[in-house]
Amino acid sequence: MQIDLQGRTALITGATGQLGRVMARTLAAAGADMVLHYLYNKSMAEVLCAEVEKMGRKALVVQGDVTKFDDIIRIRDESLKNLGPVNIVVNNAVIQYEWTSVLSQNAADFQSQFDACTMQNVYTAKAFLPAMQEKGAGRFIGINTECSALCNTNSGAYAAAKRGMDGLYRVLAKEVGPSGITVNQVSPGWTISDRDREAGSEQAPEYSDKLPLKRRGTDQEIANVVLFLASDLASYVTGVNIPVCGGAVMV
């Protein structure tokens, strides 16, 4: 069985990130044209664009701050002008910050995480879902995290924001489901990416030994689940949050 996304256009926010770049390659390999969003890493965005075009797909590089509604609207308009309507949205971008206890964490960190993890999804929903509703089909996918379920110490700002995102997605699934749009989340664990391969840090027994599968997952394994949710194989799946974390979280 082969997944075919030909004739569809996918937007990935944070496409230049460690997980985003693999998602972009994976969806493009399945036939989707790609809108590749970045905030700072223009060079990686251009590399990804060239890779997608080499696969025979169309690609567009767009820059913007996903915490600003005006930027999201501009990204939508640029996508529509150059590639047509976006059928698949993958909200992957996130802001990095220093982790510490709730009592020690700067209040601004809570706000930045909420803006990136929750409001990004509000803005992309407002920008892209109306066109999907008119067409009667679409995929809205968010990258959450195992941290929102584990709620480990020092993850307060991140866990709180991602839990807000989770609630938003469950409401959205009910609101736009009648229009044929599915709304789902993927929650990765601590995933092996290019950064680990370059640093030789793939092995982390202190983490993996606690998992039922006894190993860390890979960026490709995360992208595979995103691909499934973006495809027709997941046509009757909505409102779910799929942990892809080797059993650290079970639902």
Query: Which residues form the catalytic set?
Result: 158
Residues facing residue 218 across a β-bridge: 192
- The pair of structure tokens assigned to 164 is 């807000």
Residues facing residue 59 across a β-bridge: 34
CA angle 81, 15, 60 (to 5 degrees): 25
CB crowding 190-202: b at 16 or more within 10 Å, else e:
bbbbeebeeeeee
* Closest to 136 measured CA to CA, from 77, 183, 89, 178: 178
SS3 171: helix
Dihedral, CA atoms, 226, 229, 232, 234, nearest 10 degrees?
A: 150
